[in-house]
Structure 1
Amino acid sequence: MPTGSCYLPRLRAQARWSSLLLLLLLAITFSPDALAATGSLDLTGSTVGLIAVAIFVLAYALVMGEEKLHMRKSKPVLVAAGLIWAMIGWVYVQLGMPADAEHAFRETLLEFTELMLFLLVAMTYINAMEERRVFDALRSWMLRKGFSYRQLFWITGGLAFFISPIADNLTTAMLMCAVVTKVAEGDRRFINLCCINIVIAANAGGAFSPFGDITTLMVWQAGIIQFSEFFTLLLPSLVNFLIPASVMSFFIKAHRPEGVYEDVWLKRGARRIVLLFLLTVATAVACHTLLHLPPVLGMMTGLGYLQFFGYYLRRSLPRSIERKRERYTRRGDERKLAQLGSVVPFDVFNRVARAEWDTLLFFYGVVMCVGGLGFMGYLGLLSETLYTGWSATWANITLGVISAVVDNIPVMFAVLTMQPEMSHGQWLLITLTAGVGGSLLSIGSAAGVALMGQARGSYTFMGHLRWAPVILLGYIASIVVHLWLNAASFAN
């Protein structure tokens, strides 16, 4: 797909359309028939509330212009979050209720902290595997196999779809992105298409599993949908992935990755770190399923696994080098003897430091902004307006689209808090739409946001936006398949 200057007006128009869509969706909430706010005070019609909405829209407009402005996406949302909560605090102090605002802020901060720590551990493991040359070795293997770009596109997308139900969509997307950026290093257009495909596949795969996404965890934990019932969304989720992937695959050049067919050697402990990562994911799953504790507990425990293993690697490094030197000397292997000179001790905290902090800070800003608007009453008001004024089907479809702009976690939280009267099929529908709706924009899901940081310069907001119509086609098709396939569940 060409990316010349002739496409700039179209891209600007798409960005303006997205901003207008957000304003329209927020304008719906100003209905006088809607109910009260989430906090003690309803600020949705106040001057403070309207200013807060304007600040949020302006911040997101700056995020959307990241590629043109060359400004990190975390900056505007950090400032916006501070201003929104400062206004909330000022109003509540004036009315003698500062404790209410403080409690709400702490609850919102807790929501972010769980997500941030989960992300931090996942990023640390990925950085550790990259430092141990796991992805270099995988890239070398793919080059030796001679996979074409189109085959790589389908392999990474397919793996993302089938791994995300187990390892969650965020972690899976980051793993596949690391492979793509290594295999197609420097080919921005191909990396962008692969990242879009990975985000769609990971979000779709995460929608039919309790472990695949934070929103599915929320629904499962609330006891609304049982474990086995999530798998009724498998076929709709598969359709959501396959339709846009099939269209995008026609725009991939029919050639193979350029590069040298090198023999990459894994650094000591690489395979064991991969096993520790799988053990960490299993620990996170066990914490939730067996102990009914947040999965982040298992992830942080897994970080401890890595730290202990890093300690072992450092302490045993001199003995390991000496043994290998003796072995390679006997064999006369000069190449591997030279490699020993480049061995450095493994340091876990260096891997933590290399995490994508712009992404983590962006998450903080988004969660705190949305949490502040929700406390003012906008999220509850929007959800209530939709479910009282529209049918549940159209409300759930619309909320899925909104989750691409706002974030699916607070949207699902608002729906679960309201507990609208809906059939079981409708609860499955909102689970599906909130899970896959975030694929419409790169900022609509944790996977998309993380990949924007991981593949900075190649995968961008505007690069994802130009494929939004194709992704929307998959979104609509998945809903139609669910309405047809699970029609019986809408009767109860």
Structure 2
Amino acid sequence: MTVLILFLAATAMLAIALEEVIHLNKAKSTLLLGCVSWMCLFIHANNTGDLIAINHALNENLLDIATLWLFLMSTMTFVAYLNARGLISGLVLRVLPNSTSLRSLTIFITVFSLVLSMLCDNITATLVSIAVVQSFKLTTREKVRLCVLSVYAVNSGGVILITGDVTTLMIFSNGHVSISELLTLIVPSLCGVFALMVMFLLHPNKAVEADTKIQPIRKLDIAIAVLFFGTITATMGLSLFYSVPPVLTFLTGLSMLFMLGGVANHFDSEIHLMEYIRKIQFDTLLFFLGILLIVGALKEVGILTWLTKIYLSMNPNISSALMGGLSSLLDNVPLTAALLKAEPILTTKQWLSLVYAVGVGGSILVIGSAAGIVAMSKVKEITFFSYLRYAPHLILAYLVGYGVTLL
């Protein structure tokens, strides 16, 4: 069964990589193979008498997926409205001139993505950052390069605060690091992002223009933008002080959005905020569903436990660096959960290195982080191989940042 699940997982990854060759949407292939993996587990459990255990495992996995789905739906609805109204691009164009240089845009995207991911979750930061990139007229290669930079900056900023990355929150919740200690990760994060930005700034410079015109901002647009960022702030505060799940806070914000739309519709019959749910690209949600089903199946056959044993058999400084690389293939949440369950004895510095590794290492491949998956689903120019061409740059930047954590 372990070999079969590994084969199905490898097939799913291959289908993602060869999407442009086989002309099969990655969301469909991943979802199919994820479902087949669990069907195989149930058939095997029926033969061995472990049906209760496998059913419990599936329910847990589906609960995690449902939580992510609802969170994504809430976030993407807000961003869909702000994008449709041109508010995000409009604000950017008010900061940047209508025509700027590619290097200036690169620096802006780097700083914007890094800072935003420190203030809100990685998915929201990625959606907003990608919207900014798409606001400019860029070639395919330039757009992919800026999106890659944005994904790496978002993941780098996310490890600094517990509100930015789930794995950071998990390690913090287990009492291995404090908030003040996590804040020291801003140094390696800045070093890694700066290294990648410098590599991208070496490309030829040119003038780039905005792809959209500045639209007039209505009072309703401002109200929804305030509600959006208020929801982000409330998510951080309620999660930190009262342990309220982020998905619950964002669903509350979404319900307030719909209530606001209902009031606005009373005065303007053309305003129907509920319709913006239709603008969400559900391929993104289906892709997440398939990926998490596959990772859950790998967890059930003991692959993550096997990786944990490898971690404990080596020097933690080397093991953490390798785990960062593995997190580009496997979801870092179950990987971190498996490591925490093993209860390795690490110093504070080594825990911080692990936080950085599993949070930033997923950036090396596009399928290794939620930010990468969102970017690939939202930007048609980003494929597995178009992202892969920048793997050497990302590995170097990752090693620079990881090396600083050891200092």
The CA deviation at 1:141 is: 3.3
How do 1:301-380 residues align onto structure 2 when only pairs under 5 Å count?
301-317=252-268, 344-348=270-274, 350-380=275-305
Q: Structure 2 CA distance, aligned partners of 1:263 and 1:385?
A: 54
Q: Structure 1 CA distance, aligned partners of 2:161 and 2:353?
A: 14
The answer for the alignment partner of 2:208 in structure 1 is: 256
Choose from 42, 60, 65 the match for 1:107. Answer: 60
Whether the 8 Å CA contact 1:142–1:183 is kept in 2: the answer is: no
The answer for the alignment partner of 1:488 in structure 2 is: none
The answer for the alignment partner of 1:277 in structure 2 is: 228
Q: Structure 2 CA distance, aligned partners of 1:70 and 1:139?
A: 35
Deviations 1:421-470 (A, max 9, x none): 222222111100001101101111111110111111x2222121111111
The answer for the alignment partner of 1:398 in structure 2 is: 322
Whether the 8 Å CA contact 2:151–2:371 is kept in 1: the answer is: yes
The answer for the alignment partner of 1:419 in structure 2 is: 343
Larger radius of gyration: 1
The CA deviation at 1:299 is: 1.0
The CA deviation at 1:259 is: 5.6
Whether the 8 Å CA contact 1:401–1:440 is kept in 2: the answer is: yes
The answer for the alignment partner of 2:353 in structure 1 is: 429
The CA deviation at 1:395 is: 1.2
Mean alpha-carbon deviation: is it higher for 250-259 or for 232-241? 250-259
Q: Structure 1 CA distance, aligned partners of 2:382 and 2:101?
A: 20
Q: Structure 2 CA distance, aligned partners of 1:137 and 1:377?
A: 49
Give the partner amino acid of 1:242: F
Q: Structure 2 CA distance, aligned partners of 1:263 and 1:367?
A: 39
The answer for the alignment partner of 2:27 in structure 1 is: 74
Matching of residue 460 in structure 1 with residue 383 in structure 2:
yes
Q: Structure 2 CA distance, aligned partners of 1:235 and 1:114?
A: 32
Cα gap change, 1:471 to 1:305, in 2 (>3 Å) = same
Deviations 1:132-178 (A, max 9, x none): 22134236536745321211111011111011111122211110110
Matching of residue 94 in structure 1 with residue 50 in structure 2:
no
Whether the 8 Å CA contact 1:283–1:302 is kept in 2: the answer is: no
Give the partner amino acid of 1:232: T
The CA deviation at 1:70 is: 3.0
The answer for the alignment partner of 2:188 in structure 1 is: 236
The CA deviation at 1:234 is: 0.8
Cα gap change, 1:147 to 1:453, in 2 (>3 Å) = same
SS of equivalent to 2:209:
coil
The answer for the alignment partner of 1:121 in structure 2 is: 74
The answer for the alignment partner of 1:441 in structure 2 is: 365
Mean alpha-carbon deviation: is it higher for 132-141 or for 120-129? 132-141
The gaps in structure 1 that reach 5 residues or longer are: 1-47, 319-343, 485-492
Q: Structure 1 CA distance, aligned partners of 2:351 and 2:91?
A: 40
TM-score (norm 2): 0.95
The CA deviation at 1:252 is: 4.6
The answer for the alignment partner of 1:470 in structure 2 is: 393
Q: Structure 1 CA distance, aligned partners of 2:361 and 2:26?
A: 21
Give the partner amino acid of 2:294: C
Matching of residue 179 in structure 1 with residue 155 in structure 2:
no
The gaps in structure 2 that reach 5 residues or longer are: none
The CA deviation at 1:258 is: 6.4
Give the partner amino acid of 2:208: R
Cα gap change, 1:285 to 1:263, in 2 (>3 Å) = closer
The CA deviation at 1:98 is: 0.9
Deviations 1:256-298 (A, max 9, x none): 32668x4522245111111111111122112211211321111
The answer for the alignment partner of 2:158 in structure 1 is: 206
Whether the 8 Å CA contact 1:149–1:254 is kept in 2: the answer is: yes
Cα gap change, 1:144 to 1:469, in 2 (>3 Å) = closer
Q: Structure 2 CA distance, aligned partners of 1:69 and 1:255?
A: 36
Of all paired residues, the percent bearing the same amino acid is 28
Give the partner amino acid of 1:452: M
Whether the 8 Å CA contact 1:149–1:257 is kept in 2: the answer is: no
Whether the 8 Å CA contact 1:56–1:369 is kept in 2: the answer is: yes
Q: Structure 2 CA distance, aligned partners of 1:254 and 1:379?
A: 46
The CA deviation at 1:480 is: 1.3
Matching of residue 450 in structure 1 with residue 403 in structure 2:
no
Mean alpha-carbon deviation: is it higher for 140-149 or for 419-428? 140-149
Deviations 1:206-230 (A, max 9, x none): 1111111111122222222222211
Q: Structure 1 CA distance, aligned partners of 2:184 and 2:211?
A: 43
Q: Structure 1 CA distance, aligned partners of 2:174 and 2:61?
A: 19
TM-score (norm 1): 0.79
Q: Structure 1 CA distance, aligned partners of 2:217 and 2:235?
A: 27
Q: Structure 1 CA distance, aligned partners of 2:244 and 2:266?
A: 34
How do 1:42-53 residues align onto structure 2 when only pairs under 5 Å count?
48-53=1-6
Mean alpha-carbon deviation: is it higher for 379-388 or for 426-435? 379-388
Give the partner amino acid of 2:171: V
Whether the 8 Å CA contact 1:314–1:346 is kept in 2: the answer is: yes
